[in-house]
Amino acid sequence: MSAPQLNKLPGILLLIVGVLAVETHAQVTFERLLNSSKEPHNWLTYSGDYAGRRFSSLDQVNTANAHSLAAKWVYQTAATGKFETTPLVVDGILYATAQDNRAFALDARTGRPIWMYQHQLPPDIRPCCGRVNRGLAILGDKVFLGTLDAHVIALDAKTGNVIWDVSAVDYKQGYSFTLAPLAVKNLVILGISGGEYGIRGFIDAYDANTGQRKWRFYTVPGPGEPGHDTWEGESWKIGGAPAWTTGVYDPGTNQLFWPTGNPSPSNRGEGRAGDNLYSNSLLALDADTGKLNWYFQFTKHDEHDWDATQVPVMIDSGDKHLIAQANRNGFFYVLDRTTGKLLSANAYSRTTWTDSKDAEGRPIPNNQSSPTPEGRTVCPGALGATNWMSPSFDAQTGLFYVTAREQCDIFSTAPQPYEVGHAYYGSAYFPSDKAEPYWGALRAVDPTNGQVKWEFRHLSPTWSGVLSTAGGLLFTGDAEGNFIALDASSGKPLWHFQMGGAVYASPMAFAVDGKQYIAIAAGSSLYVFALP
C-alpha cells in the first residue's frame, strides 16, 4: 500500500512544480514589462517596450534571408472596417483585438483560436473614424480592453471571461476608447477619443485588480486650474484634446509621456481664442497620481486637426534623456524629457503653414494657414504628415522611421453649432482639382539633426506603421495590400507579399520555440510570416 504512494510522490511533486512553473511564467508582472528587452520572443506592450521604439531585438530574420519569408498562417476576423490592432505575444499565446471590440487569443504558432470575446456595443456609439481598436494591454493574468462605448474591461487572459467592466464616461456625448491601454505598476492607463465631438479630453488610470479609477487627468483645465485661461469663455467645456494614442513610460522618473489631440471644433478657431491647452501637446504625468509635471504644446490653437497623437519615442543619447515625435503638423521634434524643453524642430514633409519659429524654437503659423470660408490650401492636409501609425526607432542604425503622407488640402470653415453627441468639426476639407496626387513614403530621420536620410516612396499614402528589427530590417505595409521588408540602413526593399487588403496597423515581431515571426493586420485578417 505504501509502495505505490511512494512511487506516485515524485510524479505529484513534478506535476506541482510543473504547474507552478507555468503559473509563474504566465503572470506578466510589472517587472517583466520593465525588462521586456530580456524576453525578445515576447511582445508585451503596444509599442513593444515602454520607450515606444517598436523595435524587436530578434535577428533570425535578417537582411541575408528576408527574401525567403513566407506566410505561416492567417487569422480572419469575420469583421469589416479598418483592422488596426497590434497583437501582444506572451509565451506562445497571441492576444489581439479586432473591429467592433472583438478580442481573441490564438496559438501564436498556428493561429488557432484559444478564446474569443466580443463586447456588446449599444447601437448609438459615436466613434469618429470607424469601429476600430488598436490592441490590448496585459498585466498579471488579465488583458485589458478599451471599448467604443468608453468602457474599460479586464478579461481573464486564459479564458476571455470578463473579470471587471467599468464605464469611464457617457459615450452618448461622443466619448470612446480606440487605443491599446498601457499597464504600469498596478494601473491600466487609457486616453479618451472623441475630438470630433466636442468632448473634454482626459487620461485615466484604473486599478488592474478591481477596475477602480485611481486618477484622471483632464487635458482641458477646469476653472482655477493653470491653463484654463487659454480658452475663450465656456469653450473649455467642449474643448476636445483627446488622448487616443498609447503613451510611453519612463521608469527612471516614474513619468508617463502621453500625447494629446486637437481642440474642438477641430478646424475652426473662432470661439476658442487662446492657445487651448493642453491640446496637441505632449504631457509628462506622474504615473502614480496623474499630476502634470510638464507639457509641451506642438501646435497652439490648432485649426487643421493636427492631433499630436503620434507615439513619442524615448531615446537616450549619452547622458541625454530625449523624447522625439514626428508630429502630424510635419515637424520632427526632439525634447529633453527631464524638463520638456524643446531642443529641435525640423520639417520631415512638405509644410506651408509656417515660415518662422518662436523664442522656444517652435514653428509658428504664418498668415496663410487659417481656414477661410472660401477655402485655403495648406500642407500638410487634414490627415497630417503622419497620423497614429507607429514610428520606430532602431538604436543600431540610430534612425527614426516614420510613415509620411504628402497631401495638401483646401481647408474651408463651416460654422456649426455644438450639439451634444454630434460631429463638431467646424470645417470641411477637400482636395483641390489642381492638387497633385497624394503619395506617401517611409522616411528615415536622423534624430541628431532632424534631417531625412532616405525615403522609400509608396505609391499612395499608407496607414501602416513601421517595425525595426535587430536583423537590420524594417517592416511596413501599404495601401495596396503589400507587406514589405526593407533594409533598415538604406530603405532598399528586400521582400514583399501581397495580402489582398490595405494595411491600417503597425507590425510587430515575436518568437515561439526559437522561431521568429512577424505579424501585421491587413484587410480583415491577421498575417504571420516566418522563414520556411
Partner 1 sequence: MLTSTLSRHKTFSLPGWRCAFASILISLLGALALLALLACSTLAEEVRNPFSGNPKAAKAGEFEFRINCAFCHGLGARGGGRGPDLTRAHKRHGDSDADLFQNVSQGIPGTVMPANGTNGQGVGMTDDEIWQIVAYLRSVQVQSPAKPIGDTTRGKEFFYGDANCSSCHMVEGKGGRLGPDLSAVGSARTVESLVESVRSPSQRLAWGLTESTKEFAQEYETVTIVTSDGQQIKGVALNEDQFSLQMMDTTERIYLFEKDKLRSIQKSRRSMMPTYDATTLSDHDLDDIIAYLLSVSAK
Cα 16 to Cα 27: distance, rounded to the nearest angstrom? 17
- Residue closer to partner 1 by CB (options 126, 362) is 126
Task: Please state the closest distance from residue 281 (CB atom) to partner 1, in A.
Answer: 23
Q: Using CA atoms, how far apart are residues 299 and 365, in angstroms rounded to an integer?
A: 9
Question: Which phi and psi (to 5°) does residue 227 adopt?
Answer: 95, -15
* Contact criterion met (CB below 8 Å) for 271 and 235: yes
CB-nearer residue toward partner 1: 85 or 476: 476
CB of 422 to partner 1, least distance (A): 7
Alpha helices of 330-431 — where are they, by DSSP H?
none
Q: Which residue has the cell 516612396?
A: 457
- Contact (CB, 8 A) for 520 and 464: yes
Q: Min. distance of Cβ 307 from partner 1 in angstroms?
A: 14
Residue 459 DSSP label: S
**Interface with partner 1 by CB under 8 A: which residues?**
81-82, 123-131, 196-197, 375, 407, 412, 414-416, 422-423, 425, 427-431, 433-438, 458-461, 463, 478-482, 484, 493, 496, 498, 502
Q: Which triple of cell numbers denotes residue 89?
A: 505575444
Find the shortest distance in angstroms from Cβ 174 to partner 1.
Answer: 9
Q: How many residues does the chain have?
A: 532
Backbone angles phi, psi at 502, to 5 degrees: -65, 150
Question: With contact defined as beta carbons under 8 Å apart, do 411 and 376 qualify?
Answer: yes
| Alpha carbons 511 and 128: distance in angstroms, whole number | 35
Helix (H) or strand (E) holding 7: helix 2-26
Given phi > 0 = left and psi -120 to 50 = alpha, else beta, which region is 57? alpha
Least distance to partner 1 from the beta carbon of 437, Å? 4
Could you confirm whether 305 is annotated as catalytic? yes
- How would DSSP label each residue in 184-211? ETTEEEEE-B-TTTT-B-EEEEEETTT-
DSSP state of 43: B
Instruction: Give whichever of 46 and 197 is closer to partner 1, judged by the CB atom.
Output: 197
CB of 400 to partner 1, least distance (A): 23
Residue closer to partner 1 (CB basis): 324 or 520: 520
Bridge-partner residues for 473, per DSSP? 469, 487
Of 332 and 425, CB closest to partner 1: 425
Q: Which is nearer to partner 1, 124 or 319 (CB)?
A: 124
Rank residues 296 and 429 by Cβ distance to partner 1 and give the closer one. 429
Find the shortest distance in angstroms from Cβ 524 to partner 1: 13
Cα(232)–Cα(228) distance, integer angstroms = 9
Q: Which C-beta is closer to partner 1: that of 245 or that of 407?
A: 407
Output the smallest distance, CB 460 to partner 1, in A: 7
Cα-only R_g, the chain: 23
- Kindly name the residue from 100, 149, 204, 305 that is annotated as catalytic: 305
Distance CA 300, CA 435 (A): 27
Of the candidates 309, 277, 270, 285, the one whose C-alpha atom is nearest the C-alpha of residue 179 is: 309
Give catalytic residues, as residue numbers: 305
